[in-house]
């Protein structure tokens, strides 16, 4: 699948407790790969592992904690061998107006999605260099045209796309492949009750019919694993998204125009009321971190 030698059958998936991460792990295991499942919820990871047909090890780790992630990478190598496939899937999202979003939540979305992905690449690159492996960065169509009310998520996904593009050229001499997965609406807990959430409903309502379709995590996993097998530079979920790439220079203008119409009817009170983290996984991350203490005021220097 991705390289030769004793580590050729080891895959690492972050954010593997549920959704796309769990579905990808199942499909890779069905192809005979032994799995390392990383995430914040150990019991959920164990449930995923119990349903896999191959050996699987679970690691409760925060991808933004580089020291802990380094420890997980060493454990993967010791227990299973060097990874030949690493899928940086861990991510959270928050919805709502930027002005109503707490700074700590905005920062956390960027930290998990962007810094967490960079940490994942950093700690596993030595193993991928040994196996001639493949790193798949899960991005989003949020990188195509930034949507209002999702500023932290869009910024982070544009960031991981740029990061992976830069990384690809750097690691090519070591025989490591880097791919970017562009994922559209997917039926995970992150967008549970999609039509009941005013922000998500508004963002989706004026999209063309094919773009409004929500795909199951299992279907998205099939597309992603096919990309892994091909060591693809770009993976589109769904595949028709590749047709959108040439239109990217004009997409921000289109998204902005559509958003103005779709959001104009929403009262600001409703938008502010529903501002916050999306999904069970995001809530679990915030619980695991605990309350973030307020930043003490700083007295500016006097002149």
- The answer as to whether 187 is a domain residue is yes
Residue 7 pLDDT greater than 80, yes or no:
no
Owning domain of residue 239: 10-288
What's the mean pLDDT in 210-228? 87
- The answer as to whether 175 is a domain residue is yes
Q: Give the Cα separation of 251 and 257 in Å (integer).
A: 10
Residue 68 confidence class, pLDDT cut points 50, 70, 90:
very high
- As to burial, measured by CB atoms within 10 angstroms (0-12 exposed, 13-18 middle, 19+ buried), residue 196 is exposed
Query: What local confidence, expressed as pLDDT, does residue 268 receive?
Result: 65
What's the mean pLDDT in 255-262? 65
Query: What local confidence, expressed as pLDDT, does residue 23 receive?
Result: 97
- The answer as to whether 24 is a domain residue is yes
- The answer as to whether 302 is a domain residue is no
Domain count, the chain: 1
Residue 2 confidence class, pLDDT cut points 50, 70, 90:
very low
Report the CATH number at residue 253. 3.40.50.720
Task: Note the pLDDT tens digit of each residue in 46-58.
Answer: 999 999 999 999 9
- The answer as to whether 271 is a domain residue is yes
- The answer as to whether 301 is a domain residue is no
Residue 231 pLDDT greater than 50, yes or no:
yes
- The answer as to whether 173 is a domain residue is yes
- The answer as to whether 295 is a domain residue is no
Are 170 and 270 in contact, with CB atoms under 8 Å apart? no
Residue 158 pLDDT greater than 70, yes or no:
yes
């Amino acid at each position: 699948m991705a390289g030769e030698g004793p580590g050729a059958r080891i895959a690492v998936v972050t954010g593997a407790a549920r959704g796309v991460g769990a579905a990808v792990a199942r499909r890779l295991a069905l192809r005979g790969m032994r799995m390392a499942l990383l995430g914040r919820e150990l019991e959920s990871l164990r449930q995923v592992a119990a349903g896999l047909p191959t050996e699987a090890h679970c690691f409760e780790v925060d991808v933004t904690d580089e020291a802990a992630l380094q420890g997980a990478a060493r454990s993967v190598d010791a227990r299973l061998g060097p990874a030949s496939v690493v899928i940086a899937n861990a991510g959270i999202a928050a919805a709502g107006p930027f002005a109503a979003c707490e700074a700590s939540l905005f920062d956390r979305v960027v930290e998990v999605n962007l810094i967490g992905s960079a940490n994942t690449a950093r700690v596993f690159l030595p193993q991928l260099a040994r196996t001639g492996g493949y790193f798949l960065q899960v991005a989003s169509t949020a990188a195509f045209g930034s949507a209002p009310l999702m500023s932290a998520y869009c910024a982070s996904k544009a960031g991981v796309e740029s990061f992976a593009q830069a990384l690809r050229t750097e690691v090519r001499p070591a025989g490591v492949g880097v791919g970017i997965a562009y994922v559209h609406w997917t039926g995970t807990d992150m967008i549970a009750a999609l039509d009941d959430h005013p922000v998500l409903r508004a963002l989706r309502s004026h999209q063309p019919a094919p773009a409004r379709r929500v795909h199951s995590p299992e279907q998205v996993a099939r597309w992603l694993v096919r990309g892994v097998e091909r060591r693809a530079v770009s993976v589109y979920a769904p595949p028709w998204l590749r047709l959108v790439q040439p239109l990217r220079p004009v997409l921000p203008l289109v998204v902005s125009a559509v958003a103005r119409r779709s959001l104009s009817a929403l009262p600001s009170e409703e938008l502010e009321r529903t501002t916050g983290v999306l999904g069970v996984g995001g809530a679990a991350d915030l619980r695991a971190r605990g309350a973030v203490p307020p930043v003490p005021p700083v007295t500016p220097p006097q002149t």
